């Protein structure tokens, strides 16, 4: 779908590393460049035309994000530098002041480093206790979530879709459960928001973090969604220009209201405006259409991989758009280098989920992650190359 909008595809690459970052359509690049070439100005400042235009466009993107994830208010949308930044702000801006020693935080071993390390830091700082929900065949099941909850459980923080296996968690059910039990529910949406419809109200999320660059947008832009009453209590972890209402030399100060209070300094204006173009583009295609297309493409990919004897697939039963595999007896990095020889881009490694190996018993995998611009023809090419992998070391060495 829509391959003509992605100039980079003319170079002949088969890009299957969308879990890391996606390609950018021309409209996103144009929107970013236009800001630099046609109406550069800072946001929230001057009274001249270009500055007012920047304000209008920048705040317009906030409204687009609100609509995209079905938030109640634009005040619930904070622009950050990415998912990692968003999660850090949730942990150190909110949880640090709302949790106390002995409170329990539930994660899983399949989480991305960004959803584990901040909590481990908080464990050291405040004395919260980080616990891991046991996985069932590498996946989260409601029963295990229920059994992991104690009187001390204050937070559940999970990826909606994991970045290694691409499995989707029962987020809505967990969201309802958290609401019922008064547990804060934090969701890492980096691998879900780009690929399917997400409705924060319907899913009962307290916080959601995601990145623009994994959904056609520029790098360096992310979103922190939080329920308004929670964001009101989120302490700014960065303070300075643009977010203060008044301050005096005697040491008294007052911060602005949401969302400005949480966006200190000049934001990534070009990036946010580019992100707006990405959102328009995605909404035009339709997130449900993207989801359905990717699911069927993944099924096709798996069915073809299964015809190759020496390829092991680790997530056959999982839906979504990620395929984790290895060639038997070949180190994942060698497979990635071999595929690169044929201009096929995949990722090898542990995908920033270093403790998943404790559960998966496999340290490293090749990850092919799809997006809507990938095609069956591309999959066929990958299969052809994998089928002739007997000569892999002639290529790799």
Partner 1 sequence: MDSLTRRNIMLENYQNPYHRGLVQADDYLLFNTNNESCIDNLDIQYQLKDGIISDIRFDGEACAVSTSAASLMIKTFIGKTKPEVLEILDNYEKMLSGKEYDATKLGELIVYEDIGKQPNRKRCAYLPFESLRKVLQKM
Of residues 188, 155, 148, the one with CA closest to residue 171: 188
Q: Coil, strand or helix: which one is 369?
A: strand
Contact between 278 and 356 under an 8 Å Cβ cutoff? The reply is no
Site string for partner 1, 322-361 (x = CB under 8 A): ---------xxxx--x----------xxx-----------
352 among known catalytic residues: yes
Q: Residue 369 Cβ, how far from partner 1 at the closest point, in Å?
A: 17
Q: Does 157 bind partner 1 (CB under 8 A)?
A: no
Nearer to partner 1, 42 or 364 (CB): 364
Helix (H, G, I), strand (E, B) or coil at 10: helix
Neighbours of 260 (CB within 10 A): 18
Q: Which is nearer to partner 1, 76 or 334 (CB)?
A: 334
Task: Enter the DSSP assignment of 253.
Answer: E
Structure tokens at 277: 């173009």
Q: Is 21 in the site for partner 1 (CB under 8 A)?
A: no
Annotated catalytic residue: which of 176, 295, 345, 352? 352
* Cα atoms in the 13 Å half-sphere on the side-chain side of 205: 28
Residue 200, token pair as written in the block: 């924060």
Question: Residue 125 or 358: which CB sits closer to partner 1?
Answer: 358
- Nearer to partner 1 among residue 294 and residue 334 (C-beta): 334
* Smallest distance, partner 1 to C-beta of residue 350, A: 7
> Least CB distance from residue 184 to partner 1, whole Å?
31
The nearest distance, CB 120 to partner 1, in angstroms, is 18
CA nearest to 155, candidates 191, 205, 110: 205
Tracing tokens 């395929």 back to the chain, one arrives at 323
> Which residues are within 8 A (CB) of 302 and not within 5 positions of it... i.e. 6 or more apart?
313, 316, 323
Q: Does 167 bind partner 1 (CB under 8 A)?
A: no
Q: Binding partner 1 by CB under 8 A: which of 72, 100, 363, 376?
A: 363
Contacts of residue 22, defined as CB under 8 A and 6 or more positions apart, other chains included, come to 194, 213, 214, 215, 216, 371
397 binds partner 1 (CB under 8 A): yes
The verdict on 197 binding partner 1 (CB under 8 A) reads no
| Interface residue with partner 1, options 364, 375, 381, 387 (CB under 8 A) | 364
Q: How far is the CB of 354 from partner 1 (least distance, A)?
A: 9
Q: Is 143 left (phi over 0), alpha (psi -120 to 50) or beta?
A: alpha
Smallest gap, in angstroms, from Cβ of residue 161 to partner 1?
22
Selected range binding partner 1 among 197-205, 208-216, 303-311, 389-397, rule: CB under 8 A: 389-397
Structure tokens, 94: 């909110």
Nearer to partner 1, 163 or 332 (CB): 332
Q: Quick one: which H or E segment has residue 302? A: helix 287-305
Q: Which residues bind partner 1 (CB under 8 A)?
A: 331-334, 337, 348-350, 363-364, 393-394, 396-397
Residues taking part in catalysis:
352
């Amino acid at each position: 779908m829509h391959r003509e909008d992605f100039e980079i595809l003319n170079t002949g690459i088969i890009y299957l590393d969308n879990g890391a970052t996606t390609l950018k359509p021309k409209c996103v690049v144009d929107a970013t460049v236009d800001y630099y070439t046609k109406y550069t100005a800072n946001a929230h400042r001057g009274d001249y035309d270009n500055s007012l235009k920047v304000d209008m466009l920048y705040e317009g993107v906030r409204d687009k994000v609100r609509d995209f994830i079905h938030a109640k208010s634009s005040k619930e949308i904070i622009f950050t530098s990415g998912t990692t930044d968003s999660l850090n702000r949730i942990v150190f801006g909110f949880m640090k002041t709302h949790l106390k020693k002995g409170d329990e935080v539930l994660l899983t071993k399949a989480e991305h480093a960004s959803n584990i390390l901040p909590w481990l830091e908080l464990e050291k700082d405040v004395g919260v206790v980080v616990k891991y929900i046991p996985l069932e065949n590498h996946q989260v099941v409601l029963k295990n979530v229920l059994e992991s909850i104690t009187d001390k459980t204050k937070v559940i923080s999970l990826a909606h879709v994991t970045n290694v296996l691409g499995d989707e968690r029962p987020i809505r059910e967990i969201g309802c459960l958290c609401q019922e039990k008064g547990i804060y529910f934090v969701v890492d949406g980096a691998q879900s928001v780009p690929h399917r419809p997400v409705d924060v109200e319907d899913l009962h999320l307290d916080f959601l973090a995601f990145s623009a660059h994994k959904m056609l947008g520029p790098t360096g832009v992310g979103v922190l969604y939080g329920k308004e009453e929670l964001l009101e209590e989120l302490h700014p972890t960065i303070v300075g220009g643009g977010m203060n209402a008044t301050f005096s030399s005697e040491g008294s100060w007052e911060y602005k209201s949401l969302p400005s209070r949480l966006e200190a300094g000049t934001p990534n204006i070009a990036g946010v405006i580019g992100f707006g173009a990405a959102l328009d583009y995605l909404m035009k295609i339709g997130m449900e259409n993207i989801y359905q297309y990717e699911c069927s493409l993944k099924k096709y990919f798996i069915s073809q991989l299964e015809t190759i004897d020496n390829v092991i697939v680790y997530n056959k039963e999982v839906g979504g758009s990620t395929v984790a595999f290895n060639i038997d007896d070949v180190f994942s990095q060698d497979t990635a280098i071999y595929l690169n020889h044929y201009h096929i881009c995949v990722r090898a490694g542990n995908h920033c989920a270093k403790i998943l190996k404790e559960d998966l018993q496999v340290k490293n995998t090749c990850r092919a992650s799809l997006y809507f611009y990938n095609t069956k023809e591309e999959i066929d090419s990958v299969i052809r190359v994998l089928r002739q992998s007997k000569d892999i070391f002639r290529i790799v060495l």
